[in-house]
Amino acid sequence: MSNQPLPAVPYLKIPEGAEPYLEGQKCGQCGSTFLGERSVCSKCGARDQMSPVTLPNSGKLYSYSIVYRSFPGIEVPYISAIVDLDDGTAIKGNLINVEADPEHIEFDMPVDVVYADALGRKDADGNSYLSFFFQPKA
Amino acid sequence: MTDAYIVGVDMIKFGRFPEKTVPQIGAQAALMALDDCGLSIQHMQALYCGNLGQASGMVGQRLLQEIGQTGMPVVNVANACATGATAFREAWASVKAGLYDVVLAVGVEQMGKGLLGGGGAKTGIPKEGLIGSGTMPAVFAEAGMEHARHYGTTFEQFAKVSVKNHHHSTLNPKAMYQIETPLDEVMNAEMISYPNTKLMCSVNVDGSAAAVICSEKKARELGLMDRAIKVRASVLASDPWQERDLVMPDVNSCTQKAAKEAYEMAGLGPEDIDLIELHDCFATAEILHYGNLGICKQEDAGRMIDEGEVALGGRIPVNVSGGLLSKGHPLGATGIANIYEVSTHLRNEAGSRQVEGAKIGLTHVIGLGSACAIHVLERAS
């Protein structure tokens, strides 16, 4: 079992002695950014032009749903959100610290990316995980 | 190239048949489609069989073990919710190419109840409810809310899709449900994923549908042109690159691409279409496709449902079968069931839900991930 939390998703990086961050891959030919590892650009088809980039910790809410029915053991309701980060990369996650009510959720509301424990979820070996969330910009 | 015609087509009444096997359910529709044109399994030169749940299970061959093992080639097809339409299209292509004169396409699914999508993690921790939601009601809610942000579409307008399609299903004896659902009942039903309530989610059912596709020469030889349906266009598209693909499955650009190509192939436009069966897996999904299929501008989709233009009796009736919302959505069967519905109207055999004077119809399905299949059908005589 690891003493340090593990990343909940592969594109969340936890460097030793520094703040966690989200990592994308940017195509050197067409400039598109992607979440996660890849070697070929799915927009322009360029090969071996990908280089890692640190994604910004702020963006705007693009779309969402408020989820009331999920699988057994998943706490509801929660807001499933699509966010456009400031560099244009689209990312999905939970929107927190806002009431789960459409009256309180506005398209294009500015959000920050924050990092926290993965809702207490542990894997079969008892490891803890670090995840990311969106919350309204302070 | 020869023209290809549907000469036999049918579907079983959708329902729940846990006591039957998948091949048994598929065999029922296959026999019904053969009976519809008076041909036998011995006439069939190939079988294209669509099924998702047992994609590695040789469903087509097992189906022939139920109704006649002639040794014909069998192609088993899986393409998410576009599975049935893809099997139909492969069958169509084989006739168009001159490979065969008469072939059978079957779509079949056995579903059980429950929530689809967002399955558990094999390693690490479950991501559902941590990294947003991968459940289908939520994914299609997010697609609907994208329409809302661009065009101001409202919860009430999405809900009206369910009112309309549930009403249509009261006229369709083959629909899973035939129950009216007034607007307040739809809007006040259990919220699954805002803005989709339980009555705005399609029904998981078991079902099958089948079609016999024939070259023009063979159809004339067999004397089957009277009720034949001409396939004016068959198009399959995958989702072209979009900036949010990795987090938001795109059902729009593949539909727009397939629609454009289908109208070009058929040599007509959306103004020529008399009825449409489209992929209303959720009420939020249906509204997206009015604009995607070109029957109105994107910003007018809400108005289309408000003013009844897409209801039976309206300018361009959509999902008069009751749609996936009420007829039911057996994934692998849905694409051919849509083709059955449109063909039935073009044959003027749809009874109390008949779209009067229908000559040309369009079917549309989406397999999330994404695949879009569109067929344009026309009465042959």
For residue B248, give its domain range: 4-113+204-379
pLDDT at B376 over 60: yes
Residues 6 or more apart from B307 whose CB is under 8 A from it? Answer: B314
How does pLDDT run across B314-324, given as a tens digit for each residue? 999 999 999 99
Place of tokens 């195509």: A27
Catalytic positions of B are 81, 329
Q: Element (H or E) spanning A25, and its range? A: strand A21-27
Amino acid at A5: P
Task: Indicate whether B199 belongs to any domain.
Answer: no
Q: Which residues pair with A26 in a beta bridge?
A: A33, A51
What's the CA gap between B362 and B375, in Å, rounded? 6
Peptide bond connecting B370 to the previous residue in cis, omega within 30 degrees of 0: yes
Q: Does B122 touch chain A (CB under 8 A)?
A: no
CA of B122 vs chain A CAs: smallest distance (Å): 10
How does pLDDT run across B134-187, given as a tens digit for each residue? 999 999 999 999 999 999 999 999 999 999 999 999 999 999 999 999 999 999
How does pLDDT run across B278-304, given as a tens digit for each residue? 999 999 999 999 999 999 999 999 999
How does pLDDT run across B60-103, given as a tens digit for each residue? 999 999 999 999 999 999 999 999 999 999 999 999 999 999 99
What's the CA gap between B206 and B113, in Å, rounded? 10
- Rounded to a whole number of angstroms, the CA Rg of chain B reads 19
**What band does B118 get if pLDDT is binned at 50, 70 and 90?**
low
Q: Element (H or E) spanning B77, and its range? A: strand B74-77
pLDDT at B307 over 90: yes
What's the CA gap between B284 and B366, in Å, rounded? 14
**What band does A138 get if pLDDT is binned at 50, 70 and 90?**
confident
Question: For residue A25, what are its two tokens?
Answer: 């891959």
Is residue B105 within 8 Å of B213, Cβ to Cβ?
yes
**What band does B275 get if pLDDT is binned at 50, 70 and 90?**
very high
**What band does B219 get if pLDDT is binned at 50, 70 and 90?**
very high
pLDDT at B253 over 70: yes
Task: Indicate whether B337 belongs to any domain.
Answer: yes
Question: For residue A121, what are its two tokens?
Answer: 């979820």
pLDDT at B120 (0 to 100): 55
Instruction: Please tell me which of the candidates A67, A75, A88 has its beta carbon nearest to residue B193.
Output: A67
Instruction: Please tell me which of the candidates B132, B138, B241 has its beta carbon nearest to residue A42.
Output: B241
**What band does B54 get if pLDDT is binned at 50, 70 and 90?**
very high
Task: Indicate whether B189 belongs to any domain.
Answer: no
Percent of chain B whose predicted confidence (pLDDT) is above 70? 98
As for the ipTM of the complex, it is 0.94
What's the CA gap between B300 and B151, in Å, rounded? 8
Task: Indicate whether B296 belongs to any domain.
Answer: yes
**What band does B2 get if pLDDT is binned at 50, 70 and 90?**
confident
pLDDT at B122 over 90: no
Q: Which DSSP string corresponds to B352-375?
A: GG--TT--EEEEEEEETTTEEEEE
Q: Element (H or E) spanning A116, and its range? A: strand A110-122
Task: Indicate whether B187 belongs to any domain.
Answer: no
Q: List chain A residues with CB under 8 Å of B192.
A: 68-69
| Angle, helices B155-169/B283-292, rounded to nearest 10 degrees | 100
Write down the mean pLDDT value for chain A. 95
Is residue B150 within 8 Å of B302, Cβ to Cβ?
no
pLDDT at A3 (0 to 100): 77
Percent of chain B whose predicted confidence (pLDDT) is above 90? 96
**What band does B112 get if pLDDT is binned at 50, 70 and 90?**
confident
Q: List chain B residues with CB under 8 Å of A84.
A: 244
Is residue A64 within 8 Å of A86, Cβ to Cβ?
no
CA of A71 vs chain B CAs: smallest distance (Å): 8
- Considering its fold, how many domains does chain B have in total? 1
Task: Indicate whether B235 belongs to any domain.
Answer: yes
pLDDT at B381 (0 to 100): 75
pLDDT at B262 over 70: yes
Q: Which segments of B150-304 are extended strands (E)?
A: 191-194, 196-197, 207-215, 229-238, 275-277
Residues A83-118: b if buried by 16+ CB within 10 A, e if exposed = bbbeeebbbbbbbbebebeeeebeeebebebebeeb
Task: Indicate whether B265 belongs to any domain.
Answer: yes
What's the CA gap between B274 and B277, in Å, rounded? 11
User: Under an 8 A CB cutoff, do B115 and A69 touch?
Assistant: yes
CATH number at residue B230: 3.40.47.10
The predicted model scores a pTM of 0.96
Q: Does A115 touch chain B (CB under 8 A)?
A: no
